[in-house]
């Protein structure tokens, strides 16, 4: 009820906040869409040049059929209209396949892998960060900080190769590749979760140490509250705010950044289709997947920004101050 009452009470501020965020997301999406089109056109060649012994007449007919012979401005306008309708037509490389069907086939696999990686990253990051903060400046804390530094510095494709070689090939504890059972997802999920887990752990540790130094924590200790009560009731809520703000970027980056890991583990997700489309210059698939993942990325950021706005009173006060300043003019 408190959240519902807060929504009603601060409905104007929330609406103002959402309008600003949606406008910013729309501008960012337009820039991404335009850059995708221009970069795609900058790639030399076309999807039909890989065909073996393709006669020149057939090659020209294919380009004309798919509108590749139209003027640059006409292709750009047609591309923008397809983005608005979210209909990118057929694939230029795979006969009988539309971009929508490719997204429907590949994204559920990438989504399941991404959700598993997010759960691992958040669970491990918060747990390790809390443990390090409660044991700060000791050997365990120093060891955790070393692991965090390693986790942040090692890219996911290098970690994926390392895990695949030792845990799948050499020790045969997990399957090498594919996506047929839960055990097939463990190694790629860990590869995706390692870097964000390390970042969350460092963020959580630093924020908890800062909160533990506040005067109200000292007051709570002087009242005789147990450490567990202080952590749960007073520390966690304030320490989790930066983590909540990071969850939007984390969700978007994991769901959209699993291309290389999916390729290493031969996972039939959207990443495989995107890599193939870039290699074969399949313009429609490149455009469709780019716009689709851009929407997911910005949507996740918008959602968690709203959650953080509702949880953090300082953001609501800042939004209310901006709104009153605009009203005064």
3-state secondary structure of 64: helix
| Residue 323: per-residue pLDDT | 47
Residue 171 scores a pLDDT above 80: yes
Q: Tens of pLDDT along 275-303?
A: 888 887 888 888 888 888 888 888 888 88
- Residue bearing the bigger pLDDT, 194 or 92: 194
| CA 174 remoteness from chain centre | 26
DSSP string of 11-58, one letter each residue:
HHHHHHHHHHHHHHHHHHHHHHHHHHHHHHHHSSS-TTTTSTT--HHH
| Residue 174: per-residue pLDDT | 92
Domain ranges of the chain: 2-328
* Mean pLDDT confidence for 309-329: 57
Tokens at 169, concatenated: 């090939």
Residue with tokens 């594919």: 178
Q: Tens of pLDDT along 67-112?
A: 777 888 888 888 888 888 888 888 888 888 888 899 898 889 999 9
| Residue 163: per-residue pLDDT | 93
pTM value?
A: 0.83
Residue with tokens 């193939």: 276
* Mean pLDDT confidence for 34-59: 75
Residue 188 scores a pLDDT above 90: yes
Instruction: Identify which of 107, 52, 20, 64 has the alpha carbon closest to the alpha carbon of residue 285.
Output: 107
Tokens at 137, concatenated: 């400046």
| Residue 173: per-residue pLDDT | 92
pLDDT bin (cut points 50, 70, 90) of residue 128 is very high
Fold of 2-328: MetI-like fold (1.10.3720)
Burial of 49 (0-12, 13-18, 19+ CB in 10 A): exposed
3-state secondary structure of 294: helix
CA distance linking residue 194 with residue 14, whole number of Å = 34
DSSP 90: B
The mean predicted confidence, pLDDT, of the chain is 82
In the chain, % of residues over pLDDT 70: 89
| Residue 177: per-residue pLDDT | 84
* Mean pLDDT confidence for 14-38: 86
């Amino acid at each position: 009820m408190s959240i519902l009452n807060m929504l009603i009470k601060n409905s104007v501020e929330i609406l103002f906040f959402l309008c600003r965020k949606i406008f910013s997301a729309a501008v960012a999406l337009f820039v991404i869409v335009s850059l995708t089109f221009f970069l795609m056109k900058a790639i030399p060649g076309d999807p039909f040049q890989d065909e073996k012994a393709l006669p020149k007449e057939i090659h020209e007919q294919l380009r004309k059929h798919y509108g590749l012979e139209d003027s640059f401005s006409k292709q750009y306008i047609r591309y923008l209209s397809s983005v608005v309708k979210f209909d990118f037509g057929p694939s230029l490389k795979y006969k009988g396949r539309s971009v929508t069907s490719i997204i429907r086939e590949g994204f559920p696999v990438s989504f399941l892998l991404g959700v598993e990686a997010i759960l691992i990253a958040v669970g491990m990051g918060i747990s390790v960060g809390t443990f390090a903060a409660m044991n700060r400046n000791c050997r365990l804390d120093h060891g955790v900080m070393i692991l965090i530094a390693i986790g942040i510095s090692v890219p996911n494709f290098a970690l994926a190769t390392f895990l695949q070689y030792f845990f799948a090939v050499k020790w045969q504890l997990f399957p090498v590749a594919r996506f047929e059972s839960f055990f097939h997802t463990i190694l790629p999920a860990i590869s995706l979760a390692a870097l964000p887990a390390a970042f969350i752990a460092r963020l959580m540790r630093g924020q908890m140490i800062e909160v533990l130094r506040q005067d109200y924590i000292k007051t709570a200790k002087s009242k005789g509250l147990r450490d567990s009560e202080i952590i749960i009731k007073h520390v966690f809520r304030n320490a989790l705010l930066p983590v909540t703000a990071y969850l939007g970027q984390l969700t978007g980056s994991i769901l959209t950044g699993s291309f290389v890991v999916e390729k290493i583990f031969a996972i039939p997700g959207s990443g495989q289709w995107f890599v193939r489309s870039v290699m074969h210059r399949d313009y429609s698939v490149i455009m469709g997947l780019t716009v689709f993942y851009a929407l997911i990325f910005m949507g996740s950021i918008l959602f968690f920004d709203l959650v953080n706005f509702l949880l953090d009173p300082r953001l609501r006060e800042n939004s209310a101050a901006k709104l009153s300043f605009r009203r005064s003019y």
